[in-house]
Amino acid sequence: MIEFEEVQRFLLGEELPKTLLEEAWRVRLRHRGREIRFYHPLPHFPAVSITGDWCALRCKHCMGKYLQGMIPIKSPEKLKEFSMKLEERDGVGILVSGGCTPDGRVPLERFYDALRWIKENTELIINVHTGLIDEEGAEELASTGIDIASVDVVGSDETIRRVNGLRATVEDYGKTLNSLMETSIPAVVPHLCVGLDYGKILGEAKALEIIWEAQPRQMVILALIPTRGTPMEAVQRPPPGDVAKVTVLARLLMPEISISLGCMRPRTERKMLETLCLKAGADRMVLPSKAARSWAEAHGLKAIDLKGCCSIPEELEEKLTIKRKRR
């Protein structure tokens, strides 16, 4: 088992030690078995933005570009209407997200009654991207009956200021995660973005420590995509080895946690990134390549294909299974 004092040194090292990679694989098999879950969000689990493409922060890696890929739904009534139609089209769930206010919150409050209505009148799974939130806000959100809270964890004050443009601190992100963990929300899923600070490793070790202290059942690992039209469009993307290092550390520090390689990740060097993260202990992946699927099969993993989001807990999977045709 790796110790926390070794984490930062390991992340900053040039190589991904084969011995730790092998140990992470053994730990993954021991605690997570041989199942690998592959997720396919669209069209069954779309993302909506309650602010359209508006965001006060304009984070340097995003500048609102990712909001443009979401369905804009700016009123509670429209959200209810959309949810009803989604279920009629065989939808299984919805990610409710949006841009942030200047203090880092997603302005969800006026949608709380709509979220309650959706839970009472449909069978949809609701995943909410919260932004920063305090204890009172976390309890209010939990009272709506949502199934999942997805929350970013950033481990560097410098990154929070330089990239997110926030006066918040690492402690604020930790408090957000802990406040949500103390509610009745069934699944609280921290998201850690590797290379968020212009492609460099900076706060990832601290973010892992915050997640370890909270002890969630799941987490999602992301990786910076240098996106056109943002200040980061020309930066060097984090190499696959860096993403795999974070995956290895997450697996060794938290043997029983379910680890997903999420939607936000570069598609260049895709085969290397995905297979390395599988070797490193990930047991979930969104939209895997053929190479990742072949690697999993060759290494004795049983693929379970699911129509939904990779933050969905196992107890809600019954209606998500996709039966793949035999080749």
User: Do the bridges between strand 187-194 and strand 218-223 make them parallel or antiparallel, or are there none, so unpaired?
Assistant: parallel
Place of tokens 């795999």: 244
Q: pLDDT tens-digit profile of 100-121?
A: 999 999 999 999 999 999 999 9
Q: pLDDT tens-digit profile of 227-238?
A: 999 999 999 999
pLDDT at 228: 94
pLDDT at 318: 87
Beta bridge pairs of residue 219: 259
Q: What is the C-alpha end-to-end distance of the chain, expressed in Å?
A: 41
What average pLDDT does the structure give for the chain? Answer: 95
Q: pLDDT tens-digit profile of 242-255?
A: 999 999 999 999 99
| The total number of structural domains that make up the chain | 1
pLDDT at 66: 95
Quote the CA–CA distance of 260 and 218 in Å, as a whole number.
8
- Confidence (pTM): 0.95
Q: pLDDT tens-digit profile of 17-61?
A: 899 999 999 999 999 999 999 999 999 999 999 999 999 999 999
DSSP assigned state of 51: T
Identify whether the C-beta of residue 233 lies closer than 8 Å to the C-beta of residue 192. Answer: no
pLDDT at 323: 57
Residue 55 belongs to some domain of the structure: yes
Q: pLDDT tens-digit profile of 263-299?
A: 999 988 899 999 999 999 999 999 999 999 999 999 9
Residue 323 belongs to some domain of the structure: no
Least confident range of 2-16, 197-211, 305-319 = 2-16
More confident residue, 254 or 10: 254
Q: What is the CATH number of the domain that holds 93?
A: 3.20.20.70
pLDDT higher than 90, residue 322: no
Amino acid symbol at 25: W
Mean pLDDT, residues 145-157: 98
Q: How confident is the model at residue 309 (pLDDT cuts 50, 70, 90)?
A: very high
Residue 167 belongs to some domain of the structure: yes
Question: Residue 270 sits in which domain range?
Answer: 4-316
pLDDT at 326: 42
Residue 325 belongs to some domain of the structure: no
pLDDT higher than 50, residue 6: yes
Residue 326 belongs to some domain of the structure: no
pLDDT higher than 60, residue 327: no
